[in-house]
């Protein structure tokens, strides 16, 4: 048993340049506990007499300033907890702080760079690395991902997330057994044999999380998430099994509604988040008091799930994330006070071991066999499971003699063997039943037999008749099906024959025409022949175009390319692509080098074996003993073999690391693509709305009387169009970027006339068809061209 208080750490988020930074200092004396001091100077607006506190000092196990990276956080906070989980103890790491203070970045990590991986992916990598090193123990790893949104639990790994709405998904409920152990219904456990499978489950869960934009954070998580790793270990031949679980908790950030000014759904989410954090604080306060008898774990779902982590069988660590900007000083001080209360809680972590039930059954069976052997030694008889034929025959003779004996005081002595006693009772019961059956009169039995046989015959006849009728019906159905199939085949052959006859008639008809028909032959006959020959190809092509139009029209595809080019994350995606290409090429080169080294090792082994065989053959042919001195050539080959093995091992380790990095980069790119697709859909809907609003003005310009085609009139017209759509053009572009100038200045008016849609926007139905997408794309291009020319 390990008794310790909850370990608390503090991490300061880097401040934004635009925001004013608060005053704080970090004291990291080696002899004393590190402390964080926050200074709040007096405001002159409060008056000269101001007794407010200016300095706040808090102690932590360690404080990480703004320059701390993710690797440092993992090595000092998460790695010791992961080691204790591998040893068989429960562990929990949770991040607490206001919204936008960096909790999700610390726990999960960023999605742009490989070095921004958070505690969860680094912990998974470390655990699977240690499992591969320890080959003497059998490990089983399972993953679960729970989301608590508006005080309701959902399984983030449920495959129905994408196809169903949140209200239709099954809710995770909490059950408590008589031993006060918590069980979660509708929460799935997925087994992960490798690091790749575990990271795929993490990526799936992060994709299904509830995220929204708030005034404090552009991508604020609106729910509490608990990523759990369940680890079971067992040594071969041992009767004990170790179970451990690691909870990695990303709490939603608290926020002051009066300060953020949110409303609607965001306000409802903020109320539930603040309420659950309030219940968490109540549990922390109750645990910190010594003589408190009741702990309100059942007030919220989060405190019920984290019951063992708070004052139970667990080694818990808390990370207080602080945003020490001047506007967030009050929330940061509140977070530090919460951490000081958490540090007062003591946990008692116990090694989770239990006896394997299968091995216990084997042990009990062995003990039963040993007791049987001891009993056989004491009685002098080797008992088996059943009585022998000789023993059964002897028992039947004893029973027969006992029944024939007229002495009322006679006894049946069979000994103390319960098997013989049970057999005697069964035999007596059998004799009694046989006597009752044979005691009945023969006449009555014959009458009953005759009466029973007639209804039996009628029932059998009825069953056979029904069965025959059923078989007839089945045969008729099969015959009708065969006739229909035969008719379909004949119709198909008839239609194909008609097509061939029409084709032959179209080819031979020009020879029966007159002179006038011969003159029109070169333009009409080849066309008819070509139409007949390409009918199948056109139908298949039309089907393909219809499918592509259902997925995404050409106009929307071109708009997506423009949006992707101008998107803010395009540089990051391209950088990740280049890094991924480099890693692929490096892995390919390493694979070729590994293959070469492997073949070289094989050749060296063959040379050493051949050298050894040559020496043995030479000694046998010349009758000379093997020399005691080592062969220099063989020693040289062995040294080369060892060098190649070391080189092979180094390259294989590097290739393994490259594989992990490539998989993570692919996950990042997939995540970026999903984000880009969602933002494009929102932007496309906004552009469609803007087209409906702004098209009447453009349509009025289109119906005006055309200007004379002179240079002066062209300039005036382009200037008028620029003034009309300049404001709206700025709203449409997601991120304006320089557009290359046209090579032909004389085509300005023509391009403008083509870019403006001819029909009113009010008559365009926003149904997602190709015509609407083309109109929207033309409208976007017109605005881009007008804005560029104005510049």
DSSP letter string, 377-400: HHHS----SS--HHHHHHHHHHHH
Which DSSP helix (H) or strand (E) runs through 741?
none
Q: What is the pLDDT of residue 532?
A: 36
Under 8 Å CB-to-CB from 355, ≥6 apart: which residues? 239, 240, 241
Angle between helices 632-702 and 711-732 (to 10 degrees): 120
Measured CA angle at 695 (ends 694, 700), to 5 deg: 115
The 3-state DSSP composition of the chain as helix, strand, coil percent (nearest 5) reads: 60, 15, 25
- Strand partners for 259: none
Q: Are the C-beta atoms of residues 735 and 567 closer than 8 Å to each other?
A: yes
Stronger pLDDT, 235 or 779, i.e. the higher one: 235
| 225-251 as b/e: b if 16+ CB within 10 A | bbbbbbbbbbeeeebebbebbbbbbbb
**Would you say 439 is a known binding-site residue?**
no
pLDDT higher than 80, residue 766? no
10 Å Cβ neighbour count for 566?
15
Q: Is the pLDDT of residue 142 over 90?
A: yes
Q: Is 506 marked as binding a ligand?
A: no
d(CA 782, CA 306): 58
Task: Residue 751: count other Cβ atoms within 10 Å of its Cβ.
Answer: 16
Q: Which residues pair with 149 in a beta bridge?
A: 152
Q: Are 623 and 691 in contact (CB under 8 A)?
A: no
Say yes or no to pLDDT of 176 above 50. Answer: yes
Whole-number Cα distances in Å, 428 to 399, 433, 438 = 8, 9, 16
CA terminus-to-terminus distance, the chain: 74
| Cβ neighbours around 641 below 10 Å, total | 17
125 marked among binding-site residues: no
Q: How far apart are CA 510 and CA 573, in angstroms?
A: 63
pLDDT recorded at residue 650: 92
Mean pLDDT value across residues 81-95: 92
Mean pLDDT, residues 443-462: 66
Residue with tokens 């100077």: 41
Mean pLDDT taken over the chain? 75
Which residues, other chains included, contact 485 with Cβ-Cβ below 8 Å and sequence gap of 6+? Answer: none
H helix intervals, 511-631: 515-533, 535-551, 554-566, 570-622
Q: How far is C-alpha 542 from the geometric centre of its chain's CA atoms?
A: 38
What mean pLDDT do residues 631-637 have? 83
- Tokens representing 696 are 């009447």
Least confident segment among 67-81, 112-126, 382-396, 429-443: 429-443
Distance CA 253, CA 681 (A): 28
What confidence score (pLDDT) does residue 106 get?
92
Contact criterion met (CB below 8 Å) for 53 and 218: no
How far is Cα 40 from Cα 22, in angstroms, rounded to an integer? 8
Name the percent of the chain lying above pLDDT 70: 71
To the question of whether residue 132 is assigned a binding role by annotation, the answer is no
DSSP class of 67: T
**323: nearest Cα among 314, 313, 334, 315:** 334
Residue with tokens 């033309």: 778
Q: What is the mean pLDDT of residues 76-84?
A: 93
Distances in Å between the alpha carbon of 233 and those of 87, 242, 347?
9, 5, 23
47 has binding-site annotation: no
Pairing of strands 7-12, 62-64: parallel
Please state, in angstroms and rounded to a whole number, the distance separating the CA atoms of residues 326 and 676: 34
pLDDT at 167: 77
What 3-state class would DSSP assign to 772?
A: helix
Residue of 342, 334, 331 whose CA lies nearest to 309: 342
Please state, in angstroms and rounded to a whole number, the distance separating the CA atoms of residues 98 and 102: 9
Q: Are strands 240-250 and 91-96 parallel, antiparallel or unpaired?
A: parallel
The three state secondary structure string of 668-680 is: HHHHHHHHHHHHH
Q: Are 137 and 233 in contact (CB under 8 A)?
A: yes
CB atoms within 10 A of CB 138: 14
Report d(CA 704, CA 724) in Å as an integer.
14
Is residue 120 within 8 Å of residue 248, measured between CB atoms?
A: yes
67 is in an annotated binding site: no
Three-state DSSP state, 326? helix
CB distance 782 to 755 below 8 Å: yes
Q: Which residue has the tokens 């059964």?
A: 392
Place 192 in a pLDDT band, splitting at 50, 70 and 90.
very high
**Structure-token pair, residue 412:** 């049946």
Reply yes or no on whether the pLDDT at 76 is more than 90.
Answer: yes
DSSP label of 254: B
Distance CA 221, CA 214 (A): 10
- Residue 93 near residue 126 (C-beta atoms within 8 A): no
Out of 80-89, 172-181, 692-701, least confident range? 692-701
Tell me the β-bridge partners of 36. 26, 58
Backbone phi and psi for residue 555, each to the nearest 5 degrees, phi listed first: -65, -40
* Average pLDDT value for residue range 228-232: 94
The two most distant CA atoms of the chain are separated, in Å, by 145
Better-predicted residue by pLDDT, 703 or 276: 276
Q: Nearest-CA neighbor of 229 among 217, 244, 218, 214?
A: 244
pLDDT at 319: 94
Report the pLDDT averaged over residues 479-495: 80
Least confident of 181-185, 377-381, 683-687: 377-381
Residue 104 annotated as lining a ligand binding site: yes
Q: What does R_g of the chain's alpha carbons equal in angstroms?
A: 43
Contacting residues for 765 by C-beta, under 8 A, at least 6 apart? 772
Query: What string of DSSP letters covers 666-729?
Result: HHHHHHHHHHHHHHHHHHHHHHHHHHHHHHHHHHHHHTSPPPPSSHHHHHHHHHHHHHHHHHHH
For 7-22, the pLDDT digits (tens) are 999 999 888 765 667 7
pTM: predicted TM-score of the whole model, two decimal places: 0.50
Question: Residue 469 has which token pair?
Answer: 């009728």
Was 103 annotated as part of a binding site?
Answer: yes
| HSE of 529, CA atoms in CB hemisphere, 13 A | 12
Closest CA to 556 of 767, 784, 783, 785: 767
């Amino acid at each position: 048993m390990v008794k310790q208080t909850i370990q608390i750490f503090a991490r300061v988020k880097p401040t934004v340049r635009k925001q004013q930074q608060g005053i704080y200092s970090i004291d990291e004396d080696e002899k004393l506990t590190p402390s964080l001091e926050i200074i709040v100077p007096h405001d002159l607006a409060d008056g000269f007499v101001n007794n407010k506190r200016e300095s706040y000092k808090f102690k932590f196990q360690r404080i990480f300033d703004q320059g701390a990276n993710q690797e440092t956080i993992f090595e000092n906070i998460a790695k010791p907890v992961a080691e204790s989980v591998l040893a068989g103890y429960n562990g929990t790491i949770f991040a607490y702080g206001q919204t936008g203070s960096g909790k999700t970045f610390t726990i999960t990590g960023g999605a742009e760079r490989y070095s921004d991986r958070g505690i969860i992916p680094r912990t998974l990598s470390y655990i699977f690395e240690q499992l591969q090193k320890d080959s003497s123990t059998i490990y089983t790893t399972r993953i679960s991902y729970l989301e608590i949104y508006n005080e309701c639990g959902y399984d983030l790994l449920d495959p129905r997330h994408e196809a169903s709405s949140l209200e239709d998904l099954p809710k995770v409920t909490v059950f408590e057994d008589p031993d006060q152990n918590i069980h979660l219904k509708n929460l799935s456990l997925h087994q992960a044999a490798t690091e790749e499978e575990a990271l795929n489950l993490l990526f799936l869960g992060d994709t299904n999380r509830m995220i929204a934009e708030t005034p404090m954070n552009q991508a604020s998580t609106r729910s509490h998430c608990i990523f759990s790793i369940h680890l079971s270990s067992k040594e071969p031949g041992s009767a004990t099994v170790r179970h451990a679980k690691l909870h990695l908790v990303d709490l939603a950030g608290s926020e002051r509604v009066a300060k953020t000014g949110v409303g609607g759904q965001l306000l409802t989410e903020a109320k539930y988040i603040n309420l659950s954090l309030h219940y968490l604080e109540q549990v922390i306060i109750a645990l910190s008091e010594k003589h408190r008898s009741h702990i309100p774990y059942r007030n919220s779902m989060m405190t019920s799930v984290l019951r063992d982590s708070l004052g139970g069988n667990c080694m818990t660590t808390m990370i207080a994330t602080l945003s020490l900007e001047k506007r967030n000083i009050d929330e940061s001080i509140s977070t530090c006070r919460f951490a000081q209360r958490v540090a007062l809680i003591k946990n008692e972590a116990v090694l989770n071991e239990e006896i394997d039930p299968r091995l216990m059954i084997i042990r009990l069976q062995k003990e039963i066999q040993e007791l049987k052997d001891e009993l056989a030694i004491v009685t002098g008889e080797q008992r088996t499971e059943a009585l022998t034929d000789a023993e059964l025959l002897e028992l039947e003779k004893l029973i027969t003699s006992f029944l024939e004996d007229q002495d009322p005081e006679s006894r049946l002595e069979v000994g103390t063997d319960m098997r013989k006693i049970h057999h005697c009772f069964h035999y007596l019961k059998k004799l009694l039943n046989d006597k009752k059956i044979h005691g009945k009169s023969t006449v009555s039995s014959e009458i009953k037999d005759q009466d029973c046989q007639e209804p039996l015959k009628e029932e059998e006849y009825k069953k056979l008749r029904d069965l025959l009728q059923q078989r007839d019906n089945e045969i008729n159905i099969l015959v009708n099906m065969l006739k229909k199939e035969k008719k379909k085949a004949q119709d198909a052959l008839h239609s194909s024959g008609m097509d061939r006859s029409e084709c032959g008639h179209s080819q031979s008809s020009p020879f029966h025409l007159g002179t006038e028909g011969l003159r029109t032959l070169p333009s009409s006959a080849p066309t008819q022949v070509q139409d007949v020959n390409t009918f199948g190809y056109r139908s298949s092509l039309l089907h393909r175009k219809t499918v592509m139009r259902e997925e995404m029209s050409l106009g929307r595809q071109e708009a997506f390319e423009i949006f992707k080019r101008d998107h803010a994350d395009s540089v990051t995606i391209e950088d990740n692509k280049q890094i991924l290409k480099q890693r692929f090429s490096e892995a390919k080169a390493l694979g070729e080098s590994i293959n070469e080294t492997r073949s070289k090792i094989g050749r060296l082994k063959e040379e050493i074996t051949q050298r050894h065989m040559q020496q043995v053959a030479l000694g046998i042919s010349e009758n000379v003993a093997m020399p005691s001195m080592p062969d220099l050539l063989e020693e040289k080959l062995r040294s080369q073999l060892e060098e190649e093995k070391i080189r092979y091992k180094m390259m294989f380790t590097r290739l393994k690391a490259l594989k992990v990095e490539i998989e993570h980069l692919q996950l990042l790119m997939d995540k970026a693509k999903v984000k880009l697709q969602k933002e494009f859909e929102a932007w496309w809907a906004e552009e469609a709305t803007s087209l409906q609003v702004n098209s009447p003005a453009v349509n009025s310009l289109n119906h005006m009387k055309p200007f004379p085609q002179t240079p002066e009139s062209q300039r005036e017209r382009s200037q008028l169009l620029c003034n009309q759509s300049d404001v709206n053009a700025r709203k449409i572009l997601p991120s304006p970027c320089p557009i290359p100038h046209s090579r032909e200045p004389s085509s300005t008016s023509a391009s403008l006339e083509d870019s403006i849609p001819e029909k009113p926007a009010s008559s365009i139905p926003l149904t997602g068809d190709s015509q609407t997408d083309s109109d929207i794309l033309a409208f976007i291009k017109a605005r881009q061209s007008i804005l560029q020319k104005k510049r």
